[in-house]
Structure 1
Amino acid sequence: MTKKHKILMDAGLSGKKTKELLAKVGVDISQIDMVFLSHDHSDHSGGLGVLMRRYPQINAFANSGTWDYLLETGKIGKLPAQQINVIEPDQTQIFDDLEVTAFATSHDAAQPQYYVFGNEGKRMVFLTDTGYVSEKVAKTIEDADAYMMEFNYDTMMLREGPYSWALKQRILSDLGHLSNEQAGQALVDIVTKRTKQIFLSHLSRHNNTEYLAKDTAWEMLEHGDADVSSDLNITMTEPDDPTDLTEI
């Protein structure tokens, strides 16, 4: 949130669950005025239609490919046209005290993208659901104050786990998700002493553990060439429990 805006990144949970989790950190859902959508998969978009219809103050943002897919399929119901806003990859838009830059990611969705949010000289990056981090993306997101980064799977756990081989191939592909090692290497490439907060997210319940994700992040940052601040903090996030509000 900024002084003028309260923002949701994605809306995969039900409207009721979203309201409950926001209340736990002292935010009234009626104060949310912007939602930025990364892609059309239901765990990221499933609750958006309800939020838009129930809370008319919410302006929702996604790229044209994502909107076209959601509107054509009707997967989240009829959406109020006046609340639909477009931001395309590589675009930067400014909303009062909020600057938002969108960047394309690599995932098996209609047109996936994530965002860099800027306010009063501070930058926070959200990046999950991508099979790899390209040089172009790394350049866009480097030197931020905070990151929410996908640490989806431990490679050995995934390979030896219960998923079908087809699903394993999908996750391991360039259109899948980031492993602990891939995410850790991305952080090595982009983190600077400016970075004070890293939030690990989108952990697989079957193919990862909090210990493995966090240990990999720390080990790669400490032994890589990253210029890491001594007060860098790495925080785990939970899909069904809110993380305490943190001032960036």
Structure 2
Amino acid sequence: MNVALVHLATRETPEATLEAALALLEQAHRQGAEIAVLPELFPSVYRYEEAHKTPGVLSALAQFCKQSGLTVVAGVLEPHQDRYANRAQVIGPEGLRATYTKTHLIPAFNEPAHMTPGQDLVHLGLKGFKAGIAICFDLRFPELFRAYAVEGVDLFLIPSAWPMSRSYAWELFCKARAAENQAYLIAVNHAEDPFGAASLAIDPMGMEMLRLEAEGVGVVALDPSYPARLRQEFPVFPQRRPELYAGLLKSPVSK
């Protein structure tokens, strides 16, 4: 399966960003991509007043996917009741495939004050993979990725808006989440300040397959048989000791 990482800078308006995104998606399509991943909140970042334009953006993406046959994972900001939701929408040629709402909201960007967290993990079949969806700050919570892995997820798709100032942690988490779960990981970031950490494709051994540091598209080929083969040759999950991990279910203690 060929996956495109769309390392995109958000423009001054959602309309201008959409135009740039569609041009890069067309480039990805020409390069043989079957799946493409856009950044978190790609049309507007944290400009809440522009959230009402998201349906139009998603409609244009759906039309592109129908015409091209591409499946797109798009991070968007959407109104939700009297607040907002930070979501990854998976759109295929047949329409909407899945919706993941960010489950871990980041205080550094004041998300808890404006957004409602998601309550569900979301995975779906994509071209021979079982793909699990996460968003940016979720990377700091290994429990989420292990929960996916024990359900058979072997590909993580992660739209993100990660600051360059914390890029070391970003790369560490991306590689660790892939290696510890023996799964591919595709993490796609913004190209503009204050974000700008590299978009990354990581293999199930935690090795870097592709890095994008400037706006553009990179396409990487993933082997659906590799995670299962690795999990059989080097079994990790059967050695888990869930009876020792009950503390994971406790509320955190402040000291």
TM-score, with length taken from structure 1: 0.45
Instruction: Please state which structure has a larger fraction of its residues in strand.
Output: 2
Q: Which has the higher contact order (CA 8 A, sep 6+)?
A: 2
TM-score, with length taken from structure 2: 0.44
